[in-house]
Amino acid sequence: MQRLSSTLRFLFQSVGLGLVVAAVVIITQPLWGQSESLRQTNSEVISFNQAVRKAAPAVVNIYSMGEIQGSYYQPQSSRVWRLGSGVIMDSQGYILTAHHVVDNVDQIEVALQDGRRYAAQLIGSDRYTDLAVLKIDADNLPVIPVQSTRRIQVGDIVLAIGNPYNIGQTITQGIISASGGRVGVSNSYSDLIQMDAVINQGASGGALVNTAGELIGINNARYNSAFGDGGEGIYFAVPYENARKVMTTLIREGKVVRGFIGISVNPNFSEEQSLSGILITDVEAGGPAAAAGLKRNDFLVAIDGEPVRSAPEGLDRVANSEPGTELEVEFYRDNKRMTTTVTVAELPR
Instruction: Give the catalytic positions in this structure.
Output: 100, 130, 204
The CA distance from 186 to 129, in Å, is: 12
SS3 track for 214-264: CEEEEEEEEEECCCCCEEEEEEEEEEHHHHHHHHHHHHHHCCCCCEECCEE
Q: How many CB atoms lie within 10 A of CB 322?
A: 10
Collapsing DSSP to helix, strand or coil, 293 comes out as: coil
* Beta carbons of 179 and 194 less than 8 angstroms apart: yes
- Span between the terminal Cα atoms of the chain, in Å: 112
Contact 316, 181 (CB under 8 A): no
Task: Let me know how long the chain is.
Answer: 349
Q: Is the dihedral of CA 182, 186, 190, 192 positive or negative?
A: negative
Q: Which 3 state secondary structure label does DSSP give 81?
A: strand
